[in-house]
Structure 1
Amino acid sequence: MIGQMISDEIVEQNADGALRFVVGQCRDCGTQSFPAALICTGCQSDDLSRITVAADGVVYSLTEVHVGPPQWHRPTRLAYVDLDVGLRVFGHWRGDVCIGSAVRASIGEVGTTPEGEPLLTYVFELREMADA
């Protein structure tokens, strides 16, 4: 998909197109953070590495926001997703997602830049839809 990524440092795409999150992992206690933090949220160590993890999970909570900046598509659909690796992340969603849905992140359009270019980021959707 052609457009402007909100942040290209938080996700990677495999050769097969599967999305992976770039996560910080503490070398001292193993705590993971997304986006990757500079200081461990578990033990306050600054000895962290960056790893990638699968972008699959289950919806914990979701909402729709009907107001906001003009560049964002409305309603803006946001969710907390518990990744299969045990990390809870926040992001956009699309499709027939509900609490408890098995989801996978892919790249999706969430708005438009002032120049009319698509604004892209990771978006959660039902796993079977992401696999199609």
Structure 2
Amino acid sequence: MRDATVAATANKLFQACGISWVEDSYNHWSAVVKAWSVGSTRPVHDVDRHAIIYSIQSVDDAEMERVRDIEAKEDAEANGAALDILNGLRWVKHSWDRERDCLVTEVAIERQAGPGWHREGSISEIEARENAGQREMFS
């Protein structure tokens, strides 16, 4: 079996089954390939079967690593937000209200990802507050 055929078959089987999430993925994928080969139109030799299994394992490992990286980033963000709450950090956004003709300050305890939000007391927040107040003076 050619390498391209092995890779295509491995990708199709992986897409059909998804991530294995088991410690011994060789036995898992071996069972999947055996089940697939029963219905194949031509006999699959052991060399081809092993090549498909190893190809699926590499795709599986890469996908599991990608998912674990995403989960680790999400956990780090959640932990950072929890630490901010515990440490009493607040997030602030300043804007000018034209109707009331005054500076409006929004405060949040949880980390805010939108534009204009800054950690209270930071240089960025102080500059944003000054700019929001001065913006109206020059218009």
Between structures 1 and 2, the one with greater strand share: 1
Settle same-fold status: TM greater than 0.5.
no
Bigger Rg, structure 1 or 2: 2
- Category of TM-score, reference length = shorter chain: under 0.3
Choose between structure 1 and 2 for higher RCO, CA contacts under 8 A separated by at least 6 residues: 1
Between structures 1 and 2, the one with greater helix share: 2
- TM-score, length-normalised on structure 2? 0.17
